[in-house]
Amino acid sequence: MKSLKKYMNNSRMDKIVNQAVAQSIDSVINEGIDFDPHTKTVSYNPSHEENVDTTIEHNPTMDGDIVPNVQVWSIFKRKRGLRGDGNPLFYALKGEGGWTFRDESDRNAIEKQFDAIATKFATMYPVGLTILMPSGSELNMHIADVVMSKSRNAELIKGVICKLTTEEVDDIVLDFNSKFREFYKDEFNSKYYELGRYLDLMDKERNGYFSRHLIKNNQMRDVLDSTLKLSDDRFAEFANKINDQDVLIIDDTISRGQSIKEACQIMLESYAPKSITVLTLLSKLN
């Protein structure tokens, strides 16, 4: 009888717990975005979490499969994009591709969600030494400003990781032992010509600095040997700050994760950080 009574009490407790969980799930406000490809406008939508999930309860998210032993966190979870890996929210925030917000209130609502999730992230990770991935826009700096404002111990180091120039990438590709040449050995000339068109575009739009996002051939992105480097003239200065410290690397978005992998690799090969954590605004598109 006692065991039966104990079972009944446990059953009641399970029922109460299940009801509480259900109520908690029901109380989550799903928040996402809508985008209109005809008008190229992005709008905030508090009635669903489609396209980009901006819900506070669901974020930040962590992807442990991009770089071994490195946690890669994202403020917002990407659920849908344009052709390839482009995302309208990303373009609207950067002011690229003709994309804008439908109204300033839409931008403010998304910024509010961003701020709340950044606060949540800061309770999970002690934001300290912070490094920016090189970018042609101010979005990375904006992400860093918001995230670092949540910590008293945050310190930003600029210029640690730099982009290679298109000329430097071209020289690497032409090397007889390059990964690019080895992969495209039977069609090297045609693929090198295709790459040349992308490099010409970077010369025009990125002032001669390499930008992986402008290469639309995803396979070609993956077989490029190097596109990033460390700052040579301040190596000793940076080493004194980075060695034996927890380092947070900030990037705006993950496309295929190649740039993040490369950045983590060159950091680990050249410095001795205690740990590396990556934070992006938008997750990889699954």
- The residue segments making up the domain with residue 16 are 1-29
Say what the pLDDT of residue 194 is: 97
Residues 149, 94, single domain; the answer is yes
Say what the pLDDT of residue 141 is: 94
Give the residues across from 53 on adjacent strands: 77
Residues 186, 86, single domain; the answer is no
Residues 175, 134, single domain; the answer is no
Residues 232, 256, single domain; the answer is yes
Helix or strand holding residue 263 (H, E): helix 258-270
Residues 170, 243, single domain; the answer is no
Say what the pLDDT of residue 233 is: 82
Residues 101, 37, single domain; the answer is yes
Say what the pLDDT of residue 238 is: 92
Residues 213, 105, single domain; the answer is no
Residues 83, 141, single domain; the answer is yes
Q: Report which residue type is found at 239.
A: A
> Which CATH number do you get for residue 51?
3.40.50
The torsion defined by the Cα of 135, 66, 256 and 277, in degrees rounded to 10, comes to: -10
Phi, psi of 142, rounded to the nearest 5 degrees: -65, -45
User: Measured between alpha carbons, how far is residue 145 from residues 154, 162, 228 in Å?
Assistant: 10, 20, 23
Residues 218, 78, single domain; the answer is no
Say what the pLDDT of residue 17 is: 36
Residue 87: which residues within 8 A CB-CB, separation 6 or more? 52, 78, 81, 253, 282, 285
246-253 and 275-282 as β-strands: parallel, antiparallel, unpaired?
A: parallel
Q: What share of the chain is helix, strand, coil (3-state, %, to 5)?
A: 45, 20, 35
Residues 97, 209, single domain; the answer is no
Say what the pLDDT of residue 86 is: 62
Per-residue pLDDT of the chain (286 residues; tens, 9 = 90+): 433 333 334 444 444 334 433 333 333 335 689 989 899 999 999 988 888 999 999 999 998 778 888 999 999 998 865 544 468 898 899 888 899 999 999 999 999 999 999 999 999 998 899 999 998 778 999 999 999 999 988 999 999 999 999 999 999 999 999 999 999 999 999 999 999 999 999 999 999 999 988 898 989 988 998 899 998 788 889 999 999 999 999 999 888 888 899 999 999 999 999 999 999 999 987 6
Say what the pLDDT of residue 98 is: 92
Residues 270, 203, single domain; the answer is no
DSSP labels, 201-215: HHHHHSTTB--GGG-
Domain tally, the chain = 3
Residues 50, 189, single domain; the answer is no
